[in-house]
Structure 1
Amino acid sequence: MLYLLHLTSWAQTGTVTLTGTVTDEKTGEPLPFANVYINNSSIGTTTNEKGAYVLTNLPIGSLDVAVSYLGYTPIKQTLRFEQPGRKTVLFKMRAGMELEGVVIYSKKSKKREQRLKIITRELLGAGPFGKLCKILNPDVLRISMEDDGHLMAQSTSPLKIENRALGYMIYQDLYDFDFYEGKVFYGGNTRFELLEPKNEAEKNLWRANQQKAYQGSLKQLLTSMVTDSLRENGFRVFQEIPDSLRRFNTVRSVNGLNPLKNHLHNRIEEIRGAQLVRPGELETERLVVSRTKLEVFNINKHGRSPYTDMGYAYTLITMPQGYIVISPAGWVVMPMGFEIAGDLGNDRFANLLPSDWKRE
């Protein structure tokens, strides 16, 4: 899963202007009207007739820059900017799409239609916002059912998802989609474009829905860690205690925070955001550090959890490298294998906001 988080502001640190060209890898010919954008955001542009592009006001730090062009394999490249100024990056694209192990079904196949319904449900989500979203070009999906029961899919060109709940058109280069035994994994490049509202009422509705989508989201969780305001924003975060440090029969109270009453063996303890966040190499970066798993409860949302006295929406977070890199406003810029299971892992395109979305 790719987890989509919003952009910070960089008033005092300076910004980067990125320029360059997009050309055919073999012929060197320029590719006009190619899309060049910051992955998972609404920040982007198109190349001119000479294949040239300009992206301005980019933050210092690490960014995933993506390029797409009809009939060519999409590109994603991680760039790191440590100083403000003008930078040049040239992109060379390969003609043709690389699809591995995908069987093409007839557009009128009943099996395809059944499997397309599953893919649509898993990409858009089953919540109320999902009803206001639709895939406009499902014909670009190549779908297969593996012998072991895995439902797989890829797109031959960007999948167009119209989200009229939040006011975005989403273009998704779907590299991988894997649905098996109720669990879904998918990935690829994502570009957001603002839709034009029909009137002021729809504009206000979209903004209100965006605020709802932000509440209790992964973006809000990480921002709350940075500002040391987890409890204030409805989160309780517990950290797994290493075996070598488990000395008591019950969970201890740390920094005045209450333990889980019915949890024995001193396996987890509540932790504050300030204990998890460290300064990064740059002013625009923060490290969220935890060598052990984090268990997160959204106390503003009822749901299932492993604990009888904590009937709230539950999420399990694992950092295989022991840390991730984020912006101060909660944009994950270096996920480092970040894994999320549970409530926050259920986000779908119906309630995902672009990285550069800013809360009021």
Structure 2
Amino acid sequence: MPFANVYLNNSTHGTVSDDKGHFSLTNVPLGTVEVVASFVGYQTNQQTLRLTGAQSQPITFRLKPSAKTLAGVTVKASRNEKKWQQQLRQFKQQLFGEPFGSQCVLTNPEVLQFTEEKGHLKATASEPLVIDNEALGYRLWFDLAYFDGEPKQVHYGGAARFEELKTTNERQVNRFRRNRMRAYLGSTRHLMASLISERTSRKAF
């Protein structure tokens, strides 16, 4: 697939395939990684690799058209704007969470479609969601796979890549660093790192 996005899930590491669909990812960390390929109008594809050495490892993706692409263009009825805004508020609140949810900006909400059934809010997106996290200093592209929100809980999944928001303000840079550490401490990633280093007993979980 020419000009598809190819990236390591939940990282800043990614590239775009060339006009023949070829791509190369360099400086990939050793261990288990999840490689994602996505293109607008096609289903996102993910593959897990186990890298144990410096040798290159070939990987091939075959993207399938999404159901909406196969269905073709249809004329949509005008949506209930007030209802859609209410659904959007719930979606953002549950997706962004705390403590920095109020500082996240969804820049392309128009790609979202919502349905409700028996107290469940479900969401799909025609394109990757673009989210600016102004607390941590990242722009995130999120390929939403599913979203199922209830009043007291939410289930969602997908794949994400991100890049740092550019700033020359040193105070802003330091603020990003402090917030990233705050988000990291007590997280699952922090817990696993502590287990590996055998320092769990000295940390507060």
Give the alignment's TM-score, normalised by structure 2.
0.89
The answer on whether the counterparts of 1:169 and 1:192 sit within 8 Å (CA) in structure 2 is: yes
Identity %: 38
Amino acid aligned to 1:75: N
Q: Does 1:175 align with 2:151?
A: no
Q: 2:82 aligns with which of 98, 110, 114?
A: 110
Alpha-carbon distance in structure 1 between the residues aligned to 2:134 and 2:89: 19
Shift in Å, 1:219: 1.4
- Structure 1: 5+ residue stretches without partners: 1-22, 24-30, 236-360
> Match for residue 53 of structure 1?
23
Relative to structure 1, the CA distance from residue 97 to residue 166 in structure 2 (aligned partners, 3 Å threshold; closer, same or farther) is farther
The answer on whether the counterparts of 1:41 and 1:190 sit within 8 Å (CA) in structure 2 is: yes
Structure of larger gyration radius = 1
The answer on whether the counterparts of 1:106 and 1:112 sit within 8 Å (CA) in structure 2 is: no
What value does the CA root-mean-square deviation take over the aligned residues? 1.9
Q: Which structure carries more strand by proportion?
A: 1
Alpha-carbon distance in structure 1 between the residues aligned to 2:87 and 2:192: 35
Question: Aligned runs of 1:160-171 on 2, under 5 Å?
Answer: 160-171=130-141
Higher relative contact order (CA 8 A, sep 6+): 1
Alpha-carbon distance in structure 2 between the residues aligned to 1:108 and 1:77: 39
> Match for residue 85 of structure 1?
55
Q: Does 1:138 align with 2:102?
A: no
Q: Does 1:64 align with 2:34?
A: yes
The answer on whether the counterparts of 1:107 and 1:139 sit within 8 Å (CA) in structure 2 is: no
Q: Which structure carries more helix by proportion?
A: 2
Relative to structure 1, the CA distance from residue 228 to residue 98 in structure 2 (aligned partners, 3 Å threshold; closer, same or farther) is farther
Give the alignment's TM-score, normalised by structure 1.
0.52
> Match for residue 230 of structure 1?
200
- Structure 2: 5+ residue stretches without partners: 70-75
Alpha-carbon distance in structure 1 between the residues aligned to 2:81 and 2:39: 29
Q: Does 1:125 align with 2:127?
A: no
Alpha-carbon distance in structure 2 between the residues aligned to 1:94 and 1:163: 31
Alpha-carbon distance in structure 1 between the residues aligned to 2:110 and 2:79: 7
Shift in Å, 1:227: 1.3
The answer on whether the counterparts of 2:41 and 2:68 sit within 8 Å (CA) in structure 1 is: no
The answer on whether the counterparts of 2:43 and 2:66 sit within 8 Å (CA) in structure 1 is: yes
Alpha-carbon distance in structure 1 between the residues aligned to 2:147 and 2:77: 16
Alpha-carbon distance in structure 2 between the residues aligned to 1:106 and 1:137: 19
Question: 4+ residue runs of structure 1 moved beyond 3 angstroms?
Answer: 96-99, 104-108
Relative to structure 1, the CA distance from residue 180 to residue 105 in structure 2 (aligned partners, 3 Å threshold; closer, same or farther) is farther
Question: Aligned runs of 1:287-326 on 2, under 5 Å?
Answer: none
Amino acid aligned to 1:124: F
